[in-house]
Structure 1
Amino acid sequence: MNTQATQDQTGRTPAAAAEPAPAGAAGGHGYSKQKEQHLKRLRRIEGQIRGLQRMVDDDVYCIDILTQVSAGTKALQAFALSLLEEHLKHCVAAAVEQGGPEADAKVAEATAAIKRMLGT
């Protein structure tokens, strides 16, 4: 039997992904203040993806679908960059202010996220 915990797409175990914000990260996550705006943006992106499904179902011309795929991809990338910026300003900055190994870990975590976003 494999005793190693499975990891989700973030590379964290499900329990680690659900952990509360560390001490010193007052107010929760960096995106908390913009949560409603983020949810609105994600619902808009979800609508774009559902539109893609309808386009395929309606046998729309390939290039038109690809154009919409590109728009959806760019929307997700813009959302990711916004979230990353908030993470750097809130979580990483707080860890750096506190110093110690937590700061290095947060910088490494952000670097890994950037690498995933770049596909490297």
Structure 2
Amino acid sequence: MEERQECCHKTKERLEKEYKDLINRLSRIEGQVRGIKKMVENDAYCPDILIQVSAVNAALNSFNRVLLASHIRTCVTEDIRQGKDETVDELVATLQKLMR
């Protein structure tokens, strides 16, 4: 993996397996979205498109669950052990945004 420069944004170093899994999931989702675009371009029947959109939403929700679980197990746990209580507030704010 390439080096990341320090900046004002937080970053997360991921294990190679986790990185590949996340990228593979996103690549599949990207392919599904391209398929939906092609369906629209080819005047596909609306319910067929809607079903595919629902599948993409489910895939994105699954991606979020995997990423959130990893974040809690690593970043949040480590920050709490180091006494960084503001991480809990950040997690709560993130969960609130995800539940909109």
Which residue in the other structure is 1:118 paired with? 99
List structure 1 runs of 4+ shifted beyond 6 angstroms: none
Name the CA shift for 1:56/1:36 in 2 (closer, same or farther; >3 Å): same
TM-score, normalized by length of structure 1?
0.72
Partners of 2:74 and 2:42 lie apart in 1 by: 44
Check if 1:74 corresponds to 2:58: yes
Partners of 2:26 and 2:11 lie apart in 1 by: 22
Identity %: 38
Partners of 2:30 and 2:36 lie apart in 1 by: 10
Aligned residues: 92
Determine which structure has the larger helix proportion and give its number.
2
Partners of 2:69 and 2:45 lie apart in 1 by: 37
What residue identity is the alignment partner of 2:57? T
- Relative contact order (alpha carbons < 8 A, sep ≥ 6): 1 or 2 greater? 1
Which ranges of structure 2 fall in alignment gaps of 5 or more residues? 1-6
What residue identity is the alignment partner of 1:16? C
- Deviation of 1:96 after TM superposition, in Å, equals 0.8
What residue identity is the alignment partner of 2:92? T
Which ranges of structure 1 fall in alignment gaps of 5 or more residues? 1-14, 22-27
TM-score, normalized by length of structure 2?
0.85
Which residue in the other structure is 2:8 paired with? 16
RMSD of aligned Cα (Å): 1.3
Matched position secondary structure for 2:27: helix
- Deviation of 1:20 after TM superposition, in Å, equals 4.1
